[in-house]
Amino acid sequence: MMQRFKTKSIYSLFFTLIILFLASLQAKAMSKQEKQLLRLIPQKSELSQWHMTYEPRFFDEENLFEYINGAADLYIMYGFRLVVTADYAVGADSSSVNVEIYAMKSPLHAFGIYAAERSPDEAPAEIGVQGYIGANVLNFYKGPYYIKITSFALSEDLSGMLKQMGQYIADQIKGEYKEPEMLQRFPRQDLVERSERFIPTNFLGQSYLSNGYRCDYYTEKSGTYQLFLIPFKKELDAEEAFDLYKKFLLETNRPHRFDKAVGYQRILVYGSDQYDFAFCSGAFIGGATGTACPDAIKNKMQELGRNLE
């Protein structure tokens, strides 16, 4: 009896030590990620005219809500990992500037959240892979990071100062990064600049569609409509998802045309005021939504399809 008790105690101790060891590894991993983020922002005198006024703070998935309130849900949906935020004073009038660097799951997810918050109306800024500058903000992404630099004092040289900080951070992020490759497959003509999106979940409002790409197009004749593309790992996965999407389209739209052949399917439907078009080709689902004029998408569909070859 005593022997059994001792054996049990040894096992318990051993188990506890393993848990503590794993917990310490986890703690180290987190601090490593924090250190990585810290290295991206100026700490002391790396940038003339800038000095830190509020020490860096970190928020992870558990407490992001405390920092950005309801927007946290969206960031988490886009693969949020960790954010560092710090305040600086800059320039002769010591304008206050806030810097945030969001570490995301991957460069694609960083693009996704950047694009979700981007506005086509803002002026592009050549910092990082892509960025834009507004009256008091500079936002860009590079690698797995989404960077937001915000000021509330509108000094004359604010734009230059925001760019200076942005460039410093972009330079600290090592490696060559480009826009997501899949976006190259979208036709360029009539594309609304800076409307490209990557949406990791619930694409087109469908829980079974993930990791989709979408771009806006505009012509006077057709107004604004969207083309979309969803890559799948296997053709069978694409076909299954297409069946569900087709069912969804037919639930509330009038079928206008449906064709099927080996490996290819397409459907055109008409709702209350717009056409929706979708095709399944190999391991891709693509299509157009929101167009009042199916003529307008004819060439676009041809080009999109050619680009999948």
Choose among 55, 33, 58, 36: nearest CA to 44. Answer: 55
Measured from the CB atom, the residue of 88 and 103 that comes closer to other proteins is: 88
Residue in 1, 2, 92, 262 binding other proteins, rule: CB under 8 A: 262
Residue in 45, 48, 189, 252 binding other proteins, rule: CB under 8 A: 252
Measured from the CB atom, the residue of 18 and 178 that comes closer to other proteins is: 18
Return the range that interacts with other proteins (CB under 8 A); candidates 30-38, 104-112, 202-210, 235-243. 202-210
Choose among 129, 151, 152: nearest CA to 138. Answer: 151
- Cβ atoms within 10 Å of 135's Cβ, excluding its own: 10
- Cβ atoms within 10 Å of 190's Cβ, excluding its own: 18
| 224 neighbors 230 (Cβ within 8 angstroms) | no
Distance of closest approach, residue 107 Cβ to other proteins, in angstroms = 20
Return the range that interacts with other proteins (CB under 8 A); candidates 24-32, 37-45, 168-176, 268-276. 268-276
- Cβ atoms within 10 Å of 70's Cβ, excluding its own: 7
Distance of closest approach, residue 102 Cβ to other proteins, in angstroms = 12
The helix/strand/coil state of 6 is helix
Distance of closest approach, residue 195 Cβ to other proteins, in angstroms = 11
Q: Give the long-range contacts of residues 240-248, CB within 8 A, separation 24 or more.
A: 241/208, 241/209, 241/285, 242/278, 242/280, 242/285, 244/206, 244/208, 245/204, 245/206, 245/208, 245/209, 245/278, 245/285, 246/278, 248/206
Distances in Å between the alpha carbon of 100 and those of 52, 80, 84, 87, 148? 13, 13, 6, 9, 5
Measured from the CB atom, the residue of 163 and 266 that comes closer to other proteins is: 266
Q: Is 272 in the site for other proteins (CB under 8 A)?
A: yes
Distance of closest approach, residue 176 Cβ to other proteins, in angstroms = 27
Q: Return d(Cα 197, Cα 190) in angstroms, integer.
A: 16
Measured from the CB atom, the residue of 30 and 68 that comes closer to other proteins is: 68
Residue given tokens 């199916």 in the structure block = 294
Measured from the CB atom, the residue of 100 and 178 that comes closer to other proteins is: 100
Which amino acid makes up residue 238? A
Distance of closest approach, residue 59 Cβ to other proteins, in angstroms = 11
Distance of closest approach, residue 174 Cβ to other proteins, in angstroms = 26
Distant-in-sequence, close-in-space partners of 219: CB < 8 Å, separation ≥ 6:
190, 296
Distance of closest approach, residue 214 Cβ to other proteins, in angstroms = 10
- Residues binding other proteins (CB under 8 A): 16, 54, 62-63, 65-66, 68-74, 76-77, 85, 87, 96, 98, 100, 116-119, 148, 150, 152-153, 201-202, 204-207, 247-248, 250-252, 254-264, 266, 268, 270, 272, 277, 279, 281-282, 289-290, 294-295, 297-298, 301-302, 305-306, 309
